[in-house]
Structure 1
Amino acid sequence: MPASVSESAREAALENVAIWNLRQGTLVRMLVPPTSSEGRAPAEVTQLAAAPASPHIAAGHSDGTIRIWNVDTGDCEVTWTGHKRAVTALRYNRSGAMLASGSQDTDIILWDVMGETGLFRLRGHTAEVTDLAFVERCSVLVSGSKDGYVRAWDLGTQHCFQTALGAQGEVWSLDVHPSEQQLAVGGVSAQVHLFRIGGDTSVAGQAEISVQDTQTKEVLQAEGSVARQAPERVALLRYSPSGHLLACQSAGKALELFRLRSEKEARKHVQRRKKRKQDKASEGDAQQNGAAAKEADTAGDSVLASDLLAPLQVLRAKAKIKAFTFAKKTGKDSTAAVTLALSNNVIESWTVTEEEAKRLRAVEAPGHRSGIRALALSSDDAVLLSAAAGAVKLWNPTSGACLRTIETGQGLCALFAPGNRHAVVGTKEGNLQILDIGASDVSNTIAAHTGPVWSVVALPDGSGFVSCSADHDVKFWEWEVTTEAPAAGAAAGPGARRLSARHVRTLKMADDVLCARISPDGRLLAVSLLDSTIQVFFMDTLKFFLSLYGHKLPVLSMDISSDSTLLISGSADKNIKIWGLDFGDCHRSIFAHSDSIMQVAFVPDTHYAFTVGKDGLVKYWDADRWELLLTLEGHKAEVWCLAVSRGGDMVATAGADRSLRVWQRTEEPFFVEEEKEKRLESLFEADLEEAAAPRQAGPEEQLPGQVGPVLAGRQTLEVLSGAESIVDALELAAAEAERQRVIAEEAAAAGTSGKAPPANPLLLGRSVEEYVLETVRRVRPGDLEQALLVLPFSDALRLLQYLCSWLAAGTQVELVSRCAALLVRLHHAQLLATPAARAPLIRLRQLLRDRTRALKDTLGFNAAAIAHLQRSLKERQQSAMA
């Protein structure tokens, strides 16, 4: 969800976070996450949350990663890996020191923003967590889930003490009023449910609270529901910062605004409702009149949810609303200002008054509004054409700038004409649209087919092209230039000349034609049919030559190598097959993707090939050795099309995520064995997470809010590598200490004890203590807990000895204190049963107390100094004004 601050908006842009200036409509900064150490591309951003009164913003990703960005500097300051699946909810507390995250893995994690670490994990929901909200006056976290329940969690005892039925079916969003007296919940029903928040004292202050205790104090008390106008489910609920408005975003194009009545207005509304009931009851006979009057007296005095909320305005956008946020009001008469993020890549600013809702401005990115179905590169690789529903766009593939936009039909395939000044696009309506690139217009539209045009391919001599369609026809076209007659009343002279195409001949097929390719030598024509076969014909006579059988599902794409000897086909059965065009034999069948293969293409003058599929991957193959060379990750949805440059040093891909990605060959060499090792490491990490995942309890076993001592982080390859580096450092330190002891004994025996031993180059010029401390410091704070958990107990005991020496020297007191607390908590039972641990623990207790007290005194002194400076500055300002 984009968070609005003054005149800027922040929104998710696939794996990046874009910051826009709404008034100028310009991109201020793009926050790009770094590539992982394993070379994997960052995952898509699924949630955003802005820290209050801070330039930081939290971004949750589809792989469970959470990153904290500094908007002013553009730096990623913190990276957490705690969830196993996509992050679906993020919420800061009021001070911004704590962040709560929910995920599709049904877990809730509390993160310490200042300490850059996870605090604990809450488990109790049985479906995806959809929203979170803090109630700080009673130290409670409220969560909503698709399991239909709203749970209240005590952050002190880390358990769920109340479960309420939030809505009929699934709970999709909730929010707490800024006064923390009211909770709004929305789900799949046509109502917004309200709860009153009780509990003036902290529930965490109770001595013991049992999960099954029926006497537990209820914090959430149902107040009723308010009807909505939109028929779709609730997507997002948020109170305005002032608390006067409640905005309800539906899953469609509507955003409903409700005004919260004051207590006095609510009472007046109750009295009017009571009077209407009494007037209605007086119309019946005497007996019914008395019963209705009695009912009005008993039920009419209570304040209902409809008395608290009054409909204000309904904002209707032109596309589906993906997210919204309240912005700073722009005028004195406006009631509120709202920023919308739409599904067609548009950000809109609205101002709302009592009378109307008006759109002020919009930020439209130059990209497509729907999935990209076709790509084509010009012969000089200087222009990239992309076709989608309603528009064709021309791009500079080097800079990424959008050069032109031409409105067309729903393009399915595209091709540049010779000279690169025109292009032909095949549409879903069956038309061939010839585009004049210089004029940015459609110069000619030919009703070529009665079904969708699935493929267009140029003739090798450049004289024309071939189109194939779902109407079972393969048609041959020749380029021609037509001259239009002058318009009536215009001066006599030559008419405008336009490029067109003339139909030459037709090849009738028995089924839908999905793809057509012509061998570069102009000898053969290959067409793939809906019956999963590939038919090969001679180009000159259209006489049948070969029939290629083998695919179990239709072949969606194919290509022929530059030497006209190999044909590669990609099918919906997830396999690619490499065929020889001399005898039609299948050289190899390879299981290439985990979903349908949408397009394949040879690199010119080679037997290397690229494939893209619905699994979102781009793969690079060696068709001679039949092995995978590279796997390119980056797309966040299905990849539908690709285009390879003439030199083979650049490939462009696009698909359902509406992004165009250009991949360029680098000078850095790669080795096939290393790529295989990376793939094996990714599989190992997936198996590691699966093995570490706890067994899910069944409905009869799982108690509401059942929580154990669950750590916030999760084991990853980075965690294991951090633990291994600590173990290696401890072993090196032990070996170095033994080496120095042996050298000292030999020097004492030789009578040269005053000579310093030679330095160990592995320590990089540091002492043993400094080397181990630097190794521990390099582990990310979010991974330190899991890394220490992986350590063997013997290494943990050795690390305790170093903690004492570091505290005695007064270096890295905060890090050392955190390590000490983690080691004692993780290995508490073994430490109590180990006599050798008694001495370092006693020493550690005194050192920790002294060092932390000194830090506390320093912080108190600094806080007092800052308060003194603030008072002095305030006094100077007052004296200057006087």
Structure 2
Amino acid sequence: MVKAYFGYKFETLFGSIGNNGGVIINDIAYTIVDQYLLLLNIKTQEIIQQIVIEGKNIKITKIAIKDNTLAIGYHDGEIIIYNLIDNEVQCRFFNHQSEITQLVFLSEAVLISGSCDTSIIVWDLADQQLQFRLIGHSNQITALDIISLEDQSLAITQQFIVSGSKDGLVKIWDLNLECSIATLSSMHSEVTCLCVYENYLLICTNSDEVLIKSCQLISGKCQIDNDGIIKRQSFIRAVQCQFVQQKLLILNNEKKIEVYKSKQGKKLQKAENFSQSLIYSTVISQLNKIVYFQAMVFKNLLKIYIFTSDNQIVIKELNNDNVDENNNVAIQQITGQVKQIKLTQNDHKLVVIASNKCYQFDNETAQQVNCLTNTSNLTSLCILPKNKYFMVGDEQGTLYLVDMNQNEIVFEQKIHNSNINSIECHENCKAFNGLVIMTTEIDKKVNFVELFFNKTQKCLEFQVVNTIYLKENIRSAQFSYDGNYYAFAQMNNIVSIYYCDSHKLYLELYGHSLPVLTFAYTSDDTIVISAGADKSIKLWATDFGNCKKTLKAHTAEVIQIKTVNETHYFFSGCKDNIIKYWDGDTYQLILQFNEALAGVQSMAVGCIGDLFYSATKNGVIRKYVQTKEQIFVSEEEEKRLQETLMQELQNKNKQQTGFDQGLDQVKKDLTLVQIGQQKLLETEQLMDILEKIKQYRETIDQGEVPNEDLFYNKNVTEYLFDNLQNSDLSSLMKFLHHQHLVTLIDEMNQDLALKQYPIIINKLITYIFNKVDGFGFNSHEIMMKVINIRTQLQIYFKKEKKIAGYNLDILNLMIQDISKNQDDFIFE
């Protein structure tokens, strides 16, 4: 008969706000927690939504938001587009080879991404496809921004993309031409970050300098000038910068924010030299744990939202030169590394110790209900029967008795000389006439503690009733369920079991090759399950101490074993980030949980096994609940095998092609190749036409009669521009030879061309001006022709604009006339 089990699924996070930055929009913080996104209301400090992408257990590295569209970038190079209204994934992109480092929305339908793979990709979100790839950097993309430049000569404003890279280059990209139109290569070292202010670029390099560049668009050509250097107060590498309210804010690698302000607080003008206008003001520090910041102006007040690595969002107000510490707002739940988690006996509350704080969470709502702060770091936790009290130990050896409901320390006493690493209790231990608490410290000392009611003080207290010393250092301890034995995992690779009444040795469980870090009894006391630094799990019979089975369970140290009541099922948590669910009777792996992105630190299982919690080293607590869906070991093994094979195939494809993409992407690439071939064919056809035109003009200049059949009885100019009408001009111009370009310019200068094809000619002229150096123009005559064409175009567009204005005035008069005489008209 095939054995069936109930599965578990991830339900929610506990105590998390964010550990890897985020974005603030309209009082909503979109924060990153490993592979999840949390939506936090800044005003109420409540988490209003968790975004979990099913099956995606890769760290989120970057997010961007535009209206109701959320772009999520991952460490493996994938980008997911998520609709915030429908709460569903719209599309997924796999074209990047490695970690997404930058995401910027140009519009709601256009997303731009940068990656460690050196490429920048422009995505068409409407058609859900790659639009084109910008190639030019040779190292990781470290910055992306948008700059708007006004061309006064052509009366247009155009948006460009600015990129920075570890290769030391800053590039400005024209998305219409799909290429770089300017490159700054005078960086002293790699570009770490940059920001845009009006028409200025503020570029941080891996030094103590901020380079200032001013950009201008003149007749379609981008011109960049040096505008000075700001000397920073620190040589520490800059990782983020923002210019807001006449202040430059720079986050450095020491997790501090440097603030530079304009002199006398005046507004910086476009013609003003930045290097002489910005001076050092102050520095903002949040225990050196800042990972990201976002500065915003509210009613002329500058607020800085600081995301920290220890699960906080701190809001600081910057008033002139000073940070107003009185108005700081800290949004936080669990801060610091989680040491231990425990569930109450009725599963109503989850108790967590982290750093010097002890937190209580409601199991149903995941809301924090209490927080107790201690003077020193807490190291161990035990919840006493009936869920009224719990005990915690600290690194100084002090034991605390805490009233759970009142959230206050009832009694405390120093009973150890150092770190209390384990607290266990049993309510029906016959050797101690009832409730007994066992505490251990790493230096071989074990205390047995009993509670009593102090009638004088009218409060509950405790006292040490017995102390024993072991020969080896202790890693963990536990009572048997019947209360007749207690056991220790020690540094000598052995689990030692003792009688509770006589404190004499009962059994020693030999077999591990490295120290045992954790162990647990099954609820019927027939099996002890141990695990440790040797990565294996061993199951022991408690009657004779024989090893029933050794499981090669994990690829790193096993930190925690937790059993399920009234079964022989158990969970193992490991430093390899994986939790496994086992059957202790068949020795089979039932389920594997891969959600954790850091080593498992502690686990807690519900009283009937219908839920469990895991806490990882980076402070993230996950809750899993049992499903009613039956699962079978053979099916789960097949799923895991398929996942392993798929992962190996993906890794192999990455090594061979440099891109993690499937058959669909290969088809898209083939399509792009075909398009490229088509563009080359069109270019060759244009060269043939221009060669014919050149020969035609030379024949006329020599006084001979040309062959009119060359152009199918069409005018030469019409024939040329009709062929250009539906062509990709930017692609054609990239491959055009110098002599053919001269011929094209001559044809553009014809009166007929300027009258009938001004739009095409305007595009061609813009491209020529942007690439004038690349085409190698050294003839004054040719340049004068180009300038003449541009002048004629300006006259033409001004005339058309005036005509359009007349037509608009006439249309407005007609609308007014119709409005006044509406009753005279009958509409069907």
TM over 0.5: yes
AA at the equivalent of 2:209: Q
1:98 and 1:172 mapped to 2: Cα distance?
25
Equivalent residue number for residue 57 of structure 1: 70
- Given the superposition, is the C-alpha separation of residues 55 and 326 from structure 1 closer, same or farther in structure 2, using an over 3 Å criterion? farther
- Given the superposition, is the C-alpha separation of residues 474 and 360 from structure 1 closer, same or farther in structure 2, using an over 3 Å criterion? closer
Cα contact 1:90–1:131 (8 A) shared by 2:
no
Matches within 5 A, 1:96-175: 96-121=108-133, 128-135=140-147, 141-146=161-166, 150=170, 156=177, 162=183, 164=185, 166=187, 168=189, 171-175=191-195
2:414 and 2:219 mapped to 1: Cα distance?
75
2:351 equivalent among 356, 374, 385: 385
- Return the offset for 1:148: 5.6
AA at the equivalent of 2:371: T
Say yes or no: does 1:341 pair with 2:299: no
- Any idea what SS the aligned residue of 1:115 has? coil
Cα contact 1:346–1:363 (8 A) shared by 2:
no
- Name the % identity: 25
When the two structures are superposed, what TM-score results if normalisation uses the length of structure 2?
0.71
When the two structures are superposed, what TM-score results if normalisation uses the length of structure 1?
0.67
AA at the equivalent of 2:237: R
Say yes or no: does 1:635 pair with 2:656: no
Say yes or no: does 1:470 pair with 2:442: yes
The CA RMSD measured in Å over matched residues stands at: 4.0
Say yes or no: does 1:192 pair with 2:205: no
- Given the superposition, is the C-alpha separation of residues 524 and 165 from structure 1 closer, same or farther in structure 2, using an over 3 Å criterion? farther
1:403 and 1:110 mapped to 2: Cα distance?
46
Say yes or no: does 1:786 pair with 2:665: yes
Equivalent residue number for residue 289 of structure 2: 320
Equivalent residue number for residue 30 of structure 1: 49
AA at the equivalent of 1:61: Y
Cα contact 1:366–1:402 (8 A) shared by 2:
no
2:508 and 2:187 mapped to 1: Cα distance?
61
Say yes or no: does 1:431 pair with 2:452: no
What per-residue deviation string (whole Å, max 9, x for no partner) do you get for residues 619-666 of structure 1?
Answer: 101122222111123333222101112211111111223232221111
2:552 and 2:114 mapped to 1: Cα distance?
36
- Structure 1 alignment gaps of length 5 or more: 204-216, 271-302, 486-494, 697-709, 721-784, 794-820, 832-848, 850-866
- Given the superposition, is the C-alpha separation of residues 257 and 518 from structure 1 closer, same or farther in structure 2, using an over 3 Å criterion? same
What per-residue deviation string (whole Å, max 9, x for no partner) do you get for residues 519-544 of structure 1?
Answer: 22333332112233322333332223
2:470 and 2:132 mapped to 1: Cα distance?
64
1:160 and 1:546 mapped to 2: Cα distance?
78
Equivalent residue number for residue 232 of structure 2: 228
1:318 and 1:458 mapped to 2: Cα distance?
37
- Return the offset for 1:515: 0.6
Equivalent residue number for residue 496 of structure 1: 458
Say yes or no: does 1:43 pair with 2:43: no
What per-residue deviation string (whole Å, max 9, x for no partner) do you get for residues 267-321 of structure 1?
Answer: 9999xxxxxxxxxxxxxxxxxxxxxxxxxxxxxxxx6x63253334433445622
2:270 and 2:626 mapped to 1: Cα distance?
72
- Given the superposition, is the C-alpha separation of residues 565 and 267 from structure 1 closer, same or farther in structure 2, using an over 3 Å criterion? closer
- Return the offset for 1:97: 4.0
- Structure 2 alignment gaps of length 5 or more: 1-20, 150-157, 429-433, 682-725, 727-807, 821-828
Cα contact 2:191–2:203 (8 A) shared by 1:
no
- Any idea what SS the aligned residue of 1:459 has? strand
Cα contact 1:459–1:465 (8 A) shared by 2:
yes
2:325 and 2:129 mapped to 1: Cα distance?
42
2:93 and 2:629 mapped to 1: Cα distance?
30
Equivalent residue number for residue 288 of structure 1: none
AA at the equivalent of 1:454: N
Cα contact 2:68–2:83 (8 A) shared by 1:
yes
2:468 and 2:135 mapped to 1: Cα distance?
63
Equivalent residue number for residue 716 of structure 2: none
Cα contact 1:512–1:530 (8 A) shared by 2:
yes
Q: Which has the higher strand share?
A: 2
- Given the superposition, is the C-alpha separation of residues 330 and 85 from structure 1 closer, same or farther in structure 2, using an over 3 Å criterion? same
Equivalent residue number for residue 701 of structure 2: none
- Given the superposition, is the C-alpha separation of residues 693 and 388 from structure 1 closer, same or farther in structure 2, using an over 3 Å criterion? same
1:535 equivalent among 491, 496, 504: 496
Task: Work out which structure has the larger RCO, using CA pairs closer than 8 Å and 6 or more positions apart in sequence.
Answer: 2
- Any idea what SS the aligned residue of 1:685 has? helix
Matches within 5 A, 1:500-649: 500=462, 502-649=463-610
2:243 and 2:341 mapped to 1: Cα distance?
44
1:687 and 1:535 mapped to 2: Cα distance?
42
- Return the offset for 1:430: 2.0
In the alignment of these two chains, the number of paired residues is 657
- Given the superposition, is the C-alpha separation of residues 714 and 161 from structure 1 closer, same or farther in structure 2, using an over 3 Å criterion? farther
Cα contact 2:402–2:410 (8 A) shared by 1:
yes
Equivalent residue number for residue 773 of structure 1: none
- Given the superposition, is the C-alpha separation of residues 594 and 121 from structure 1 closer, same or farther in structure 2, using an over 3 Å criterion? farther
Equivalent residue number for residue 250 of structure 1: 252
- Given the superposition, is the C-alpha separation of residues 688 and 149 from structure 1 closer, same or farther in structure 2, using an over 3 Å criterion? farther
Cα contact 2:201–2:213 (8 A) shared by 1:
yes
Equivalent residue number for residue 863 of structure 1: none
Cα contact 1:615–1:638 (8 A) shared by 2:
yes
- Given the superposition, is the C-alpha separation of residues 550 and 312 from structure 1 closer, same or farther in structure 2, using an over 3 Å criterion? same
Say yes or no: does 1:5 pair with 2:25: yes
Say yes or no: does 1:92 pair with 2:105: yes
- Return the offset for 1:466: 1.3
What per-residue deviation string (whole Å, max 9, x for no partner) do you get for residues 838-873 of structure 1?
Answer: xxxxxxxxxxx9xxxxxxxxxxxxxxxxx99x999x
- Any idea what SS the aligned residue of 2:386 has? coil
Cα contact 2:70–2:81 (8 A) shared by 1:
yes
AA at the equivalent of 1:342: T
Equivalent residue number for residue 787 of structure 2: none
1:306 equivalent among 259, 275, 298: 275
Cα contact 1:620–1:629 (8 A) shared by 2:
yes
2:638 and 2:812 mapped to 1: Cα distance?
62
Equivalent residue number for residue 419 of structure 1: 386
1:190 and 1:573 mapped to 2: Cα distance?
48
AA at the equivalent of 2:641: L
- Any idea what SS the aligned residue of 1:419 has? helix
Bigger Cα displacement from structure 2, 506-515 vs 25-34: 25-34
1:41 and 1:266 mapped to 2: Cα distance?
46
- Any idea what SS the aligned residue of 2:203 has? strand
- Return the offset for 1:111: 1.9
Equivalent residue number for residue 793 of structure 2: none
- Return the offset for 1:465: 1.8
Say yes or no: does 1:368 pair with 2:389: no
- Given the superposition, is the C-alpha separation of residues 26 and 542 from structure 1 closer, same or farther in structure 2, using an over 3 Å criterion? closer
Cα contact 2:316–2:328 (8 A) shared by 1:
no
- Given the superposition, is the C-alpha separation of residues 261 and 477 from structure 1 closer, same or farther in structure 2, using an over 3 Å criterion? closer
